[in-house]
Amino acid sequence: MTPVWEIAALSLKVSLWAVACSLPVGIACAWVLARCRFPGKILLDGLVHLPLVTPPVVVGYLLLIVLGRNGWLGRLFHDWFGVTFTFTWRGAAVAAAVMAFPLMVRAIRLGIESVDRRLEEAARTLGATPARSLFTVTLPLAAPGLLTGALLAFARCLGEFGATITFVSNVPGQTRTLPLAIYTLLQTPEGETAAAWLAGISLALAIVALAASELAARAVRKRLN
Amino acid sequence: MLKIDARRKLADFEWRGRLEIRPGITALFGQSGAGKTSLVNMVAGLLTPDEGEIAIGGTCVFSRREGVNLPPERRPVGVVFQDGRLFPHLSVRGNLQYGRRRGARSAPVFKEVVELLELQALLHRRPMSLSGGEQQRVAIGRALLTAPDVLLLDEPLAGLDGERRGEVLNFLERLKRDSDRIIVYVTHRIEEVVRLADRLVLIDRGVVRSSGEPQELLGRPELQASIGQQSAGALLRCRIEEVDDGDGLSRLSCSGHTILLPRLDLPQDADIVLQVRAGDVSLSLEPPRQSSVLNVMSGTVERVVPEDGALADVVVNVGQTLWARVTRRSVRELGLSTGVRVYATIKAASLYSAN
């Protein structure tokens, strides 16, 4: 079995990359859902929320079809960028990102919706393009929502199991994150003590994430008022 | 020149006003819900008309026919909103510097605007920590710094109490100095119109009732309904003859009449405009004797305008036009009709300068 700290470090790496890469997409989605009106918006809304209501195993299977070595997107990534997802930590990050995406978008969307649109109008009358208004008014004011979204997603990524094991399997040092390691240990005789250790680490990480989220949200709110 | 000829369906009526606004301060006056704010939003590009055209100084910013609809950021228009709308996450300095210059005129110097509005001490503060009046001063400065060809002020004093109102009004008066800018001032308060406006446009349910010189317009009987009961009244042009007569009263001359009112802190011989509310004027057929009322003006009834219910407005020519709101019973009992000679009395305590 890989050392405990290596498993935790892998989990952190996977989760951080998952959040970092999905955050821009999440913000874009949340903004579109919060501020735009167009036909098919319900469809987008449904699509974003799909991972929340679909069995994780099914999400993993779909990822395998699309991003697997023979999937159309997977092959494209492999041929163009030399990036493979199957059996790698990158694949684990993708699985975690997809599963955490609905939570992230929800929180950010609420944050954006709480920003007074009249302030955006004021920005426009001061010569700001819609993009400048978004980056200088909307997003800074939605910062508490952004923060909550990112941290919720991060916590969700740390706990990702079903989609990960289906999509990228259980490869030590690559895709064996904390939940997968705990699962594996529980399958082996005398693995229970180590499993308890890992469970403890998982709990500690979750608590730290929650505390950090609360402190950061407080700091941001203080700055805004 | 700001030209507006647009139609737009609003909640319960259609805006279909046509307007041509010249440089200087033009007051848009009307009851709440008359469509004033909608007009401001259409000019600023925040509300799209259904039809028509809007042009600023020869540049078309909206035309349904030609398919032109410039976004707000490309119109040379600055807006001061009723609720200020300062950015809470930026300091006062950050708010002031947020704007981008558009339009033809060169940008004003930051320092000059800050000095004009006396914002030096506030630059590092957050908007939330400012008083309502201070917030509006920052909002005005922020709009001015974008060097707009058209400055729209949408009831900028509406959220302020009397004292703050006066404070911001003083600063707004300074705007009169650059007379080549088109300033549209939306309000439903006559005092503000009289103090600031070079021209007045009366708006009622999406149409322009009338437009012209404020004093002339406010005295017109047929427009009283648009002006509204509360503010109905006349504006009298007067000259200060004596600032303090020893009793704390200022003596004014007004078309040959003498008017006394609580001391005005204005120089002697200054020309001022007095606002006389119709409800503060009473009429009698003989000069009142042994009355506490100091101001009596003789004149003739020009016409009687019956109001709803028990009231009627009597237009009296005292050299200028004066309005008296009396009961219909008084009209009947005194036999008030065109040509009747009357004495209009006005309590000194009810008078104040609209300047």
Report chain B residues whose CB lies below 8 A from the CB of A225.
Answer: 88, 128
Residue from the list A118, A127, A140 with its beta carbon closest to the beta carbon of B100: A127
Per-residue pLDDT at B222: 63
CB-CB under 8 Å, A124 with B81: no
Report chain B residues whose CB lies below 8 A from the CB of A139.
Answer: none
CB-CB under 8 Å, A129 with B45: no
**Phi-psi bin for B328: left (phi > 0), alpha (psi -120 to 50), beta?**
alpha
Best probe of the B interface among A114, A125, A220, A221, by most B CBs < 10 A, is A125
Same domain, B218 and B324: no
Per-residue pLDDT at B229: 46
Report chain B residues whose CB lies below 8 A from the CB of A121.
Answer: 46, 72, 85
CB-CB under 8 Å, B83 with A118: yes
Residue from the list B72, B85, B102 with its beta carbon closest to the beta carbon of A118: B85
CB-CB under 8 Å, B71 with A124: yes
Per-residue pLDDT at B31: 80
Q: Among the three residues B226, B259, B282, which one is the final residue of a domain in this structure?
A: B226
Chain B residue with minimum CA distance to A130: B73
Which residue blocks in chain A are alpha helix, DSSP H?
4-35, 41-53, 56-67, 72-81, 89-113, 117-125, 130-133, 139-141, 143-158, 162-168, 178-187, 192-224
User: How far is the CA of A104 from the CAs of A96, A147, A179, A184, B137, in angstroms?
Assistant: 12, 9, 21, 29, 39
Q: Among the three residues B161, B195, B226, which one is the final residue of a domain in this structure?
A: B226
Q: What is the CATH number of the domain that holds B75?
A: 3.40.50.300
Q: Is B253 within a domain?
A: no
Q: What is the CATH number of the domain that holds B275?
A: 2.40.50.100
Q: Is B20 within a domain?
A: yes
pLDDT tens digit sequence for B96-139:
999 877 666 677 788 888 988 889 999 999 999 998 889 999 99
Q: Is B19 within a domain?
A: yes
Same domain, B29 and B92: yes
CB-CB under 8 Å, B77 with A225: no
Report chain A residues whose CB lies below 8 A from the CB of B128.
Answer: 225
Q: Is B90 within a domain?
A: yes
Q: In what order do the strands lie in the sheet with B249-254?
A: B257-262, B249-254, B233-242, B271-277, B352-353
* pLDDT tens track, chain A, 225 positions: 678 889 999 999 999 999 999 999 999 999 999 999 899 899 999 999 999 999 999 999 999 999 988 888 988 898 899 888 989 999 999 999 999 999 999 999 999 999 999 999 999 999 999 999 999 999 999 998 999 899 999 999 999 999 999 999 999 989 999 999 999 999 998 888 889 999 999 999 989 988 888 888 888 877 776
Collect the ranges in chain B with pLDDT lower than 70: 102-105, 177-179, 219-233, 352-355
Buried b (16+ CB within 10 A) or exposed e, A51-89: beeeebeebbbbbbeebbeebeebeeebeeeeebbbbeb
Residue from the list A121, A126, A137 with its beta carbon closest to the beta carbon of B142: A126
Same domain, B92 and B190: yes
Instruction: Say whether residue A187 is in contact with chain B using an 8 A CB cutoff.
Output: no
Chain A residue with minimum CA distance to B91: A224
Residue B244 to residue B318: CA distance in whole angstroms: 25
Q: Among the three residues B226, B251, B285, which one is the final residue of a domain in this structure?
A: B226
Q: How are beta strands B150-154 and B182-187 bridged, if at all?
A: parallel
Instruction: Say whether residue A2 is in contact with chain B using an 8 A CB cutoff.
Output: no
Helix (H) or strand (E) holding B36: helix B36-44
User: How far is the CA of B341 from the CAs of B285, B320, B334, in angstroms?
Assistant: 7, 15, 11
**What mean pLDDT value characterizes chain B?**
86
Same domain, B24 and B141: yes
- Please check whether residue A169 is in contact with residue A175, taking contact to mean a CB–CB distance below 8 angstroms: yes
Chain A residue with minimum CA distance to B142: A126
Per-residue pLDDT at B275: 78
Instruction: Say whether residue A124 is in contact with chain B using an 8 A CB cutoff.
Output: yes
Same domain, B157 and B40: yes
| Domains of chain A, start order | 4-224 (1.10.3720.10)
Per-residue pLDDT at A184: 93
- As for the ipTM of the complex, it is 0.82
Same domain, B113 and B221: yes
Same domain, B274 and B221: no
Long-range pairs for B60-63: beta carbons < 8 A, 24 or more residues apart:
B62/B6
3-state secondary structure B98-141: CCCCCCCCCCCCHHHHHHHCCCHHHCCCCHHHCCHHHHHHHHHH
Q: Is B256 within a domain?
A: no
Report chain A residues whose CB lies below 8 A from the CB of B77.
Answer: 125
Nearest Cα residue to B189 out of B162, B208, B216: B162
Q: Is B262 within a domain?
A: no
Structural domain of B302: 270-353
B residues 285-344 near A, CB within 8 Å?
Answer: none
CA torsion sign for B169, B171, B174, B176 is negative
Per-residue pLDDT at B349: 77
The single-letter code of the amino acid at A191 is G
Same domain, B318 and B192: no
Instruction: Say whether residue A127 is in contact with chain B using an 8 A CB cutoff.
Output: yes
Per-residue pLDDT at A181: 93
Same domain, B13 and B136: yes
Per-residue pLDDT at B353: 67
pTM of the predicted model, to two decimals?
0.78
Q: Is B236 within a domain?
A: no
A residues 73-112 near B, CB within 8 Å?
Answer: none
Per-residue pLDDT at B305: 83
Same domain, B102 and B218: yes
CB-CB under 8 Å, A224 with B89: yes
Q: Is B301 within a domain?
A: yes
pLDDT tens digit sequence for B224-236:
666 654 455 677 8
CA torsion sign for B22, B26, B31, B37 is positive
How many structural domains is chain B composed of?
2
